[in-house]
């Protein structure tokens, strides 16, 4: 079913947005900084993909789950949303873990 993978990515991104809004992990904590980090991260990985395609490392295999829309040769539209999800998940996880580590270190230094 074409577009199913994109739908899954969009549902997952929606979940990341909900978690971010609820716990103020990334965009809800510092929107401008988060936007800069997201743009740099996605641009880096998109460049990585383009180089990988040029070297013949990355390619699109046969699948019926993709929309068929290509951003560049062998770079499907879904790749952009996957990279957004990858960066957003990483930054939400960082935003979640950072206070836990800070509290643990503070408790350790109080002893």
Model pLDDT for residues 38-70, shown as the tens digit of each residue: 999 999 999 999 999 999 999 999 899 999 999
Mean pLDDT of 70-86: 97
* Number of domains within the chain: 1
d(CA 34, CA 44): 15
- Structural domain includes residue 50: yes
Q: What is the pLDDT of residue 108?
A: 82
Distance of CA 108 to the CA centre of its chain: 33
- Structural domain includes residue 98: no
Q: What is the pLDDT of residue 109?
A: 82
d(CA 58, CA 75): 9
- Structural domain includes residue 104: no
- Structural domain includes residue 106: no
Question: Residue 25: is it exposed, middle or buried by C-beta count within 10 angstroms (0-12/13-18/19+)?
Answer: buried
Beta pairing partners, 72: 75
pLDDT > 90: percent of the chain: 92
* Burial call 60-98: b when 16+ CB within 10 Å, e when fewer: eeeeeebeeeeeeebbbbbbbbbbbbebbbebbeebeee
d(CA 93, CA 68): 31
- Structural domain includes residue 105: no
pLDDT > 70: percent of the chain: 99
Q: What is the pLDDT of residue 43?
A: 98
Q: What is the pLDDT of residue 111?
A: 64
Domain that holds residue 81: 4-89
Range name among 24-33, 84-93, 97-106 with the lowest pLDDT average = 97-106
Mean pLDDT of the chain: 96
- Structural domain includes residue 94: no
């Amino acid at each position: 079913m074409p577009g199913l993978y994109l739908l899954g990515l969009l549902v997952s991104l929606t979940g990341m947005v909900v978690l971010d809004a609820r716990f103020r992990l990334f965009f809800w904590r510092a929107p401008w900084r988060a936007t800069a980090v997201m743009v740099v991260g996605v641009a880096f990985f998109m460049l990585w993909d383009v180089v990988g395609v040029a070297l013949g490392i990355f390619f699109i295999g046969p699948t019926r789950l993709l929309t068929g829309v290509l951003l560049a040769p062998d770079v499907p539209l879904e790749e952009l949303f996957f990279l957004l999800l990858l960066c957003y998940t990483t930054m939400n996880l960082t935003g979640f873990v950072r206070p836990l580590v800070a509290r643990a270190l503070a408790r350790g230094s109080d002893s």
